[in-house]
Amino acid sequence: MSRKQKEIQETIENRDRIHVVMFFLSYIFLFLGIGVLACIIHIQTSFHVDDKVIGLFRPSSALHVEHPVRGRILATDGRPLALSAPLYDIYMDCTVKKQYYKESGKDSLERAWRNKARELGVYLSNQFKDKSADQYASAILKGRDNNNRYLAIRKNVDLETVKLVKTFPLYREGTYAGGIIVERHEERIYPYDSLARRTIGYVKDISRKGLEDSFDSELHGHEGYEWRRVTDNNRWVRDLDSTVVAVQDGNDIRTTLNVDFQDIADRALRAQINENPDVRAGICVIMETKTGAIRAMVNLSRGETPQTVLWERENLVLTETGEQGSVMKTATLLSLVEDGHVKSLNQTLPTNNGWVYNWRKPGSASEYPHDDHISDYQRKTGRRDITVMHGFEISSNYVFAQLAETYYGKRPQELFDHLYSYRLGEAFDFDIEGLRAPSVVRPGTPAWSNNTLGTVAYGYGLSITPLHVITFYNGIANRGRMMKPYLVESVEKNGKVLKKFVPSALNESICSPATADTVTRALRAVVNSGTATRLRGAKLPVAGKTGTARVVLSNGQYHDASGRKKNQGTFVGFFPADKPKYTILVTVYSYLSSLSFYGGTMPALAVRDIVDQIYALDEEWRPELHPTGTVPVMNNEK
């Protein structure tokens, strides 16, 4: 026997209790190892397990997605224009306990249940006042007879009402005995209903419009995720061993809209167009002159049929491109004065019986339609010349076509360069998506003809949106500085400003201040003695221009076979004329109609109403009363 074998033999003979335990344990682990190996082979090859068994082994936790609260859209003074809160639908399982009462033969309990249902009907009727108590009771009892498990009781009720309804007879017994089912759904609440609704926009499923769409990334927030597990008390709690992504509620958007101005404009416009079935739509925009902040944007329309009520259906301010008519004469006048072609508003030009002189073919017929305003003017005054000022006051197409042909006939691009500098030839960035790009017939293009220049000069041949028009007029009111219109002034979180949007200029100088003053004088004359005299005597002096345009129909003409036309009447201007604070535009659109609509009628009257009300409301014009004597001081004021 070798030495080593001897040592082993001695070890075996002398092994103590620890050795035995270790041997024992090693065998246990050996068997366990063999077992684990066998299990692995079995699971990998032939093991099939029931889903129920898997369920038992699966940890009782589930992924919970927490949805953020959508941010609010606020007016400039902080009043909410849109906010999020859930509403509730109340249903009823009419079959509760029915089977149990039937099987256990407890007819008295069934009768008691039915009596409570009748009592519930009284309470529901008193609460909702939409059906009688009998109607409610019979619906519930009929539902019980017909095994209706989902009878709609009332939809879109608030939390307070739900809590109250839960105290009603039968419902106070809970879901399993009373059958009440309350379903919650998130709703976007617009407290002012239709007011500025198209500007604010809406959220419906995945569809969004207006500011709700443009600022969705700010308003939406971020979803939160957490795993939840069931406790021994059957409560779902956060699983602290898992990853948690905290929910982030959406940010608030503070707009430039003034609820009071919006309300005033909405009412004034409705007052003018509500009773007139020929009116298809009406819009109004009020812009702060210095900043370009939009204080009100009204878009009322009836849709395709006159029978429907006025509602904010589409944002016509941004999308209704069209020839704006005489309001664009101001652009021509501004260009003429700025270029020095019109040195004085009293400068005269021959009336030529209302026919624009054809300088291309002297002696030939005019390329423009006749202007009846000039014939009337000649008849009334006996004069054969007319001042630029008076031509502007009476909105003569002849005067502006003649001026354009005289001064820009050989270089039409000069006038168009001005129009582009007024941003009338392109869309600009705006807080709501969808601002339509203008359509301009440019010199040298196939659509250009001999009379395009003149028609552009008096407002046709240039298709733009109302937002372009008011932005341009605001530039004049602001003495040449054309501000970029904007609707959102800041992004906030719990009152703290995260982002601030400051006013910016689209064009720092569309004209000199002197030119702007001259044109303002002409605009003032339109109100005092021109086509907008309905605004004379408004509580604040207004300067502005009317425009009446015919809309091109699908047949390419301005009227249909029976002579009916689609009109649009506009008034655009600013007030107070001497120190403008607000720029305003009102346009009224008609259906196909045999009637004519003028900018000096409904739009001007609406503007007057708005100006008068803003005057009474805006603190800018509050008079101060200074005491002339000594005011006695009371003891408690010392």
Partner 1 sequence: MSLGDLWNRFRRGMRSLRNGEFLLKVGADKFYMHIMYLFLLMWLSIMLSLKVDKTLSRVGDNKAAIEELRIYHAQKEAQLVKLHSASTAERRLRELGSPVSIPKEPAIIIKKK
Please give the residue ranges that form the binding site for partner 1 (CB under 8 A): 12, 15, 17, 20-21, 69, 79-80, 83-86, 158-160, 189, 191-193, 195, 231-233, 235-238, 240, 259-260, 263-264, 266-267, 612-613, 615-619, 621-627, 630-631
- Is the CB of 110 or the CB of 158 nearer to partner 1? 158
Report how far apart, in Å, the C-alpha atoms of 344 and of each of 42, 117, 349, 537 are.
104, 85, 12, 27
- Is the CB of 151 or the CB of 540 nearer to partner 1? 540
- The owner of tokens 């100088």 is 509
Name the minimum Å distance from CB 427 to partner 1.
33
Helix (H) or strand (E) holding 334: helix 329-338
CB 133 within 8 A of CB 122: yes
DSSP 485: P
Name the minimum Å distance from CB 156 to partner 1.
11
Phi, psi of 311 (to 5 degrees): -155, 160
Name the minimum Å distance from CB 263 to partner 1.
5
Edge-to-edge, what's the strand order for the sheet holding 439-440? 322-323, 462-464, 439-440
Name the minimum Å distance from CB 24 to partner 1.
9
- Is the CB of 27 or the CB of 359 nearer to partner 1? 27
Name the minimum Å distance from CB 191 to partner 1.
4
Name the minimum Å distance from CB 571 to partner 1.
22
- Is the CB of 195 or the CB of 457 nearer to partner 1? 195
CB 222 within 8 A of CB 456: no
- Does the CA dihedral 162-164-165-167 come out positive or negative? positive
Name the minimum Å distance from CB 61 to partner 1.
13
Report how far apart, in Å, the C-alpha atoms of 606 and of each of 54, 197, 600 are.
73, 20, 10
- Is the CB of 67 or the CB of 559 nearer to partner 1? 67
- Is the CB of 48 or the CB of 129 nearer to partner 1? 129
Q: Which residues of 403-440 are buried (b: 16+ CB within 10 A; e: fewer)?
A: bbbebbbeebeebbebbbbbbbbebeebbbeebbebeb
Name the minimum Å distance from CB 330 to partner 1.
30
- Is the CB of 195 or the CB of 572 nearer to partner 1? 195
Name the minimum Å distance from CB 259 to partner 1.
6
Residue 32: helix, strand or coil by DSSP?
helix
- Is the CB of 189 or the CB of 349 nearer to partner 1? 189
Give the integer Cα–Cα distance in Å for 114 and 107. Answer: 11
Ordered alpha helix ranges (H), 168-258: 175-178, 197-200, 210-214, 216-220
CB 189 within 8 A of CB 84: yes
- Is the CB of 117 or the CB of 180 nearer to partner 1? 180
Render 100-131 in DSSP notation, one character per residue: HHHHTT-HHHHHHHHHHHHHHHHHHHHHH-SS
Structure tokens at 510: 């569309």
